[in-house]
Amino acid sequence: MNFIKTAIAGVYIIEPKVFPDARGYFFESYNERVFAANGIPNRFVQDNQSKSSYGVIRGLHCQLGEHSQAKLVRVLSGRVLDVAVDIRKDSPTFGQHVAAELSAENQRQIFIPRHFLHGFSVLSEEAVFAYKVDNFYCREAEFGIAYNDPDIGIDWGIPEDRIITSEKDRMANRLQDIPDER
């Protein structure tokens, strides 16, 4: 696996070694020892999956406080723009984001540490998205920031009139609303 550092410390793009043959391909998507040797010692406790159509934006979401989650995300089918936003108030990259295209073709993954918002937009007709988290979900710890917060300025790669999102995501907080206790 190739671990690529991004502009924000702790966020990695991970490219697996894919072994194609006449039957298709094989690759290792996760190996705890390899990840730990590359600075990612997190132990994952839950896997999640979603299916969405073109124009869907899911995010920006996180869990706060002791329920914060690191995520290892990837696409099983289709293509998405995946986004991680640094919400560590003491970080020199607070409010900045990393965006990368993930697809079934490129097999890339992104590791997102705790105390980051996460979201993605679907760029293909539909996409199946899967991710691991290192802490269990807690409804009371949910927090979100609107996908179109001008203080973050994410280009989701979707025309505004084609965006599909939940009411909850449209009415979410702004970056300036992040509580001191994350």
Question: pLDDT tens digits for 10-56?
Answer: 999 999 999 999 999 999 999 999 999 999 999 999 999 999 999 99
User: Contact 44/133 with Cβ under 8 angstroms?
Assistant: yes
Strands (E), 123-166: 126-133, 142-144
**Active-site residue, 25 included:** no
pLDDT of residue 19: 95
User: Contact 156/57 with Cβ under 8 angstroms?
Assistant: yes
Instruction: Please tell me the pTM assigned to this model.
Output: 0.94
Side by side, which strands form the sheet with 97-103? 97-103, 79-86, 116-122, 57-63, 142-144
User: Contact 127/72 with Cβ under 8 angstroms?
Assistant: no
What is the band of 172 on the pLDDT scale with cuts at 50, 70, 90? confident
User: Contact 64/71 with Cβ under 8 angstroms?
Assistant: no
Q: In the predicted model, is pLDDT for residue 181 greater than 80? A: no
What is the band of 96 on the pLDDT scale with cuts at 50, 70, 90? very high
Two structure tokens written together for 90: 């003491």
In the chain, where are the structural domains located?
Answer: 43-177
Q: In 3-state terms, what secondary structure has residue 37?
A: helix
Side by side, which strands form the sheet with 12-15? 2-5, 12-15, 109-112, 71-77, 126-133, 46-53
Report cis status (omega within 30 of 0) of the bond before 60.
yes
**Active-site residue, 61 included:** yes
Q: In the predicted model, is pLDDT for residue 144 greater than 60? A: yes
What would the CATH number be for the domain defined by 43-177? Answer: 2.60.120.10
Q: Select which of 12, 61, 97, 147 is catalytic.
A: 61
Q: Select which of 115, 118, 131, 147 is catalytic.
A: 131
What is the band of 108 on the pLDDT scale with cuts at 50, 70, 90? very high
Task: Find all residues with CB under 8 Å of 139, minimum gap 6, and list them.
Answer: none
